[in-house]
Amino acid sequence: MSIDYAARLADRVKLTEEHLITRMLNIADGLDDVIKMGRGDPDLDTPAHIIKAGQEALANGATHYTHPQGIQPLREAIARNIRDYGGAAYDPDEIMVTPGGQHGMFVIALALLNPGDEIIVPCPGYNPYSQAAEMTDAGVVKVPMGMETNFTLTADMIRPHITDRSKILVLINPNNPTGTVTPVEEVRKIAKLAQEHDLIVISDEIYSRLTFGNHKVLPVASIPGMRERTITLSGFSKAYAMTGWRIGYLAAPRELITPMSEINHAFAISTAAVSQHAALAAASGPQDCVEEMRRIYDERRRAICEGLDAVGMRYAEPQGGFYVYADVASLGLGITAGIFCERLLADGKVMMYPGTIYGDHTDDFVRMSMTQPADRIRVAMTRIGEVVAAIRAE
Ligand code: PLP
């Protein structure tokens, strides 16, 4: 007897489907010389001193479970770094190391959200926040953002979406996919709003050290009155090019960290010991590697912007992180961002993702990752110009 697997899957499985990405990855598999600007995974290697620390840790027996919140020296180093970069003061037991920042999103949702509670998320924004909340049967309230504020979330935009069921507000700064940094004054206004309405804020600051020009991130928990209602989510994947090590962290008051730690333990027991020792080298070693990466992304950012200007494609000013969010509709081709991405991949061998993956309500925008060297980006931009010209000629 054949089994109808689809009928047996839980309803929530549909929430995790990413048809378009899978389809694009399958198309890319059959092509040579694809310039991949899709995934947010740096092409840069983890700095050598961090890899060495991981290797030494393995040789010295870091092959076991650790404390569920992470090894003490790492938690101390994270707390020190948060403070040194302008954040709040945390004790090491207010830090929880997680197998990636993304895992932290699900831990928070499971620890804080009941069915019917509401979580307010920026839209477009990093989608797993919505997926995590939906899995707890909480309501996801999306605040649409657009080019008129360069995709910056503002307190005025959030206010009408607050109800008596609102529990959590998510701020992603810099934001993925838009590359926007929320101005310092706006972060203060959002914090005030959170206090007025007794909201817990998840402040995702994973890209906060990769900002450009004068744009700087104000850590939410450093604002007076915010430490007790903020969960800061961050990690090592982006600033230290450590995506494959799967290591991130949450910083929050003890009263929140303790229950979240219970959930984290149930899900993961602990984060891989080897990754924690490598992250310790990242957090406590020389920081010039982060500045070097920031400089590299800045050069790539310029290459993308110059290319988009040449093609005549409008984009949000990229202020931080490693993404450029560009408007397909501004080309006047009469096609959606999804179709544009598929055409670009099939005909131009350039991969990027449509903004709909990140909840974009318009289907007009694409996200381009700066995860290729600048000379490859220039080739990609030429190819984009050619595909656009070919579509226009059809
Ligand atoms: N937060 C944001 C805004 C991200 O873009 C990502 C990954 O792309 C993450 C968190 C999760 O990163 P990781 O799980 O690798 O720490």
Q: Of 253, 284, 315, which one is at a domain's C-terminal end?
A: 284
CA of 300 to the centre of ligand 1 (A): 20
Query: Domain of 175: which CATH number?
Result: 3.40.640.10
The structural domain count of the chain equals: 2
Q: Within this chain, do residues 80 and 101 fall inside the same structural domain, yes or no?
A: yes
Q: Of 247, 269, 284, which one is at a domain's C-terminal end?
A: 284
Q: Is the CB of 258 under 6 A from ligand 1?
A: no
* pLDDT band (50, 70, 90) for residue 25: confident
CA of 241 to the centre of ligand 1 (A): 12
> Which pLDDT value is given to residue 26?
86
Q: Which two tokens stand for residue 160?
A: 């009408």
Q: Is the CB of 126 under 6 A from ligand 1?
A: yes
Protein residue closest via CA to atom 8 of ligand 1: 40
Q: Of 240, 260, 284, which one is at a domain's C-terminal end?
A: 284
Q: Is the CB of 172 under 6 A from ligand 1?
A: yes
Q: Within this chain, do residues 38 and 79 fall inside the same structural domain, yes or no?
A: no
Residue 106: which residues within 8 A CB-CB, separation 6 or more?
128, 132, 135, 267
* pLDDT band (50, 70, 90) for residue 5: confident
Protein residue closest via CA to atom 6 of ligand 1: 102
Which ligand 1 atom is at minimum distance from the Cα of 246? 15
Q: Which two tokens stand for residue 218?
A: 């104000």
17: pLDDT strictly greater than 60:
no
97-116 pLDDT, tens digit each? 999 999 999 999 999 999 99
**Alpha carbon 386 to its chain's center:** 31
Q: Within this chain, do residues 211 and 324 fall inside the same structural domain, yes or no?
A: no
Query: Domain of 354: which CATH number?
Result: 3.90.1150.10
16: pLDDT strictly greater than 80:
no
CA torsion, ordered 373, 378, 380, 383, to nearest 10 deg: -160
d(CA 187, CA 219): 9
Q: Could you write out the DSSP letters of every residue in 304-362?
A: HHHHHHHHT--BPPP-BSSEEEEEGGGGT----HHHHHHHHHHHH-EE-EEGGGGT-SS
Phi, psi of 370 (to 5 degrees): -90, 45
d(CA 100, CA 245): 8
Q: Which two tokens stand for residue 227?
A: 């430490």
Helices (H), the chain: 5-8, 19-29, 48-59, 72-84, 101-112, 128-135, 155-158, 184-196, 254-268, 273-284, 288-311, 337-348, 374-393
Q: Which residues form the domain of 85? A: 49-284
User: Does the model's ipTM exceed the 0.95 cut?
Assistant: yes
CA of 236 to the centre of ligand 1 (A): 9
Pocket test for ligand 1, best of 126, 181, 208 (most atoms within 8 A of CB): 126
CB 205 within 8 Å of CB 250: no
CB burial of 73-104 (b: ≥16 within 10 Å; e: otherwise) equals ebbbbbbebbeeeebbebebebbbbbbbbbbb
Q: Within this chain, do residues 53 and 170 fall inside the same structural domain, yes or no?
A: yes
* pLDDT band (50, 70, 90) for residue 18: low
Q: Within this chain, do residues 27 and 100 fall inside the same structural domain, yes or no?
A: no
d(CA 84, CA 21): 38
Pocket test for ligand 1, best of 176, 211, 325, 370 (most atoms within 8 A of CB): 176
> Which pLDDT value is given to residue 7?
82
Q: Is the CB of 173 under 6 A from ligand 1?
A: no
Q: Within this chain, do residues 236 and 340 fall inside the same structural domain, yes or no?
A: no
Q: Within this chain, do residues 41 and 56 fall inside the same structural domain, yes or no?
A: no
30-77 pLDDT, tens digit each? 899 999 999 899 999 999 999 999 999 999 999 999 999 999 999 999
